Structure 1
């Protein structure tokens, strides 16, 4: 309940708007500085937050009034910006994935530990009422012992709406590394860490076309797998099957389902914070919508940063670098399995983060 955490935002691209929606309302956060490779984009943020200032990255990292760096750069430079911020003694909270590679992510974790600074990472959607209510249902034994889960994300690709989509199709991108963190973080939050993976992957076409914005019609190459499927073996034996695709039109399948010995659970889209959780118990003819029972209410992107602001040694940051590293490690091993045709062990592990009791974040 002290002074707000002072935030320096690096990167003012498409995702920054969603963060600004939350940063401008939460009492525990204050945006003080913004840096972007395109200075005009940083200056444009000041129209929404006139008390902040547009600065260079060097100036932001040197600023004594920046407590935490919000790293919203593209995935391939996540590690570079984060390591510079850590070297400057700043806490870091970044967009997913934690880094372009698990090796870079491990370097970030080690650097943060040496510097005794906090490292956090999106997605924080799992802290909302959707996934947290589902987790509580699993933890309370509502479906009995979990057996299996499915996670499906199907879209024809981000070039349909993003004005500069190339990075989604370069190393560090693709449907698994871009959207997979939402689904894997939710699965791990509910079912625990992953110990082994088996994967398959492919790509439908070698080029894409930008469909919106000033660069509409621009053709660009595809350098990553655009359809990935796999089986994740969780500690304890639960099997999760995932499908992540930028190649198909859409799906009417549930985003996530969890199946137990005595019931099944429908979990809302983990790319969002809320949504209905439904359960069908063994012997029941119909699905029942569960009341909201856990998670941050009525929140949005940036609640993980607010969670960092109120973290303590007794209640560590939930959207942690360690969790994001395990997710990235799982995804890399899944792609490696797809390319080698072998079942692979995941070396990293992580404790499930503390559940979120039903509550609202403090607002101004």
Structure 2
């Protein structure tokens, strides 16, 4: 474990029975193959580049980068060095989302038509002790929460083809109401309310709303519509949750979760899958192509708002392979 603040690294290492290193020592250790990068968004690419230079695979917190240009540079650097990159979120590997994927793949929805993706709240300055980075470049509701929703939609429907949208910043300054900085104003440098539409390559058209400016709402996180039914998908920020399915002409009925990893917080399963993939020489699921595609889609909403045009998505990615077997005891479906 390493941090620029050695005291913090030592405290965390003691908490979990680990050894604290300097960043240089960690990167130089030949026994370490994967660097897990949990820095703030603006440091994601810089730290990941350091890991690649040291010959390490790297797995970053979301988003992959604060903009598509630097995310692309990271992906190209990894390819040039023959190393792998990955990025959160890995919640789409949770049991509820993998069960929803199996329902979609079974064909019971019919032809995919559309859906909705909704995250709306009053803002993170209510609870976070240092919320500044949420309102800096690389933050905002789209880059902060959008990765969960868009990644899960790619898992369910496949890649995005085009994006249209609007993005606004109703307030140029936010007031922190959490401790210890209660009452301190912070500037806003990014859109804090984004509404848009994604046209997927499969033909489905999904509406999305991401906001730090909404006092409350009644939308569910994710709905998928097909010609033969509607699927309610649980919160993509979690691994579990209740799935519901409505067959045309019927009513919503709860669905049993049939896949593993729905009963707890498994934030690290994406790294575990990367490690297994390296040993078994197969693609990992929370991979760089997926994260870069999602980053391009998220950035496209602001570009669409600025230009008043529909933005075509250029990156290519595949739907990650379903996760149908437990990672326990080294067992994992290819």
1:131 aligned partner = 97
For residue 46 of structure 1, give the secondary structure of its aligned residue in structure 2. helix
Please say if residues 169 and 193 of structure 2, whose CA atoms lie closer than 8 Å, have aligned partners that are also in contact.
yes
Partner residue in 2 for 1:324: 291
Does the 8 Å CA contact 1:198/1:231 hold for their aligned counterparts?
Answer: yes
Paired residues, number: 328
Confirm whether residue 309 of structure 1 aligns to residue 275 of structure 2. Answer: yes
Q: Is the 8 A contact 2:241 2:262 kept in 1?
A: no
Say whether 1:178 aligns with 2:150: no
Query: Are the counterparts in 1 of residues 96 and 262 from structure 2 also a CA contact under 8 Å?
Result: no
Alignment partner for residue 157 of structure 1, among 109, 118, 123? 123
Q: Does 1:46 align with 2:13?
A: yes
Cα distance in 2, alignment partners of residues 275 and 303 from structure 1: 17
Alignment of 1:215-254 (within 5 A): 215-254=181-220
Residues in 2 aligned to 1:216 and 1:65: alpha-carbon distance in whole angstroms:
44
Asked if residue 77 in structure 1 is aligned to residue 43 in structure 2, the reply is: yes
Report how far residue 295 of structure 1 moved: 4.6
Equivalent in the alignment of 2:257 = 292
Unaligned runs of 5+ in 2: none
Give the number of the structure whose residues are more often helix, by fraction: 2
Cα distance in 1 for residues equivalent to 2:9 and 2:124 = 24
Q: Distance in 1 between matches of 2:58 and 2:48?
A: 6
Flag structure 1 segments of 5+ consecutive residues without an equivalent.
1-33
CA distance in 1, matches of 2:232, 2:312: 28
- Alpha-carbon deviations, 1:294-349, whole Å to 9, x = none? 35343421111111111156641100011000000011111100111111111112
Matched, 1:100 2:66: yes
- Paired with 2:260 and 2:167, the residues of 1 have a C-alpha distance of 34
Asked if residue 351 in structure 1 is aligned to residue 318 in structure 2, the reply is yes
Map of 1:21 onto structure 2:
none
Between 78-87 and 207-216, the greater mean CA deviation after superposition:
207-216
Normalization by structure 2: what TM-score? 0.95
The one of 228, 248, 253 equivalent to 1:282 is 248
Report deviation, 1:90. Answer: 0.4
- Match of residue 112 from structure 1: 78
Quick check: 2:172–2:187 contact (8 Å CA) kept in 1? yes
Contact 2:167 2:301 in 1 (8 A): no
Q: TM-score, normalised by structure 1?
A: 0.87
Q: Which residue of 2 aligns with 1:261?
A: 227
1:140 pairs with 2:103: no
Alignment partner of 2:132 out of 145, 166, 169: 166
Q: CA RMSD in A?
A: 1.5
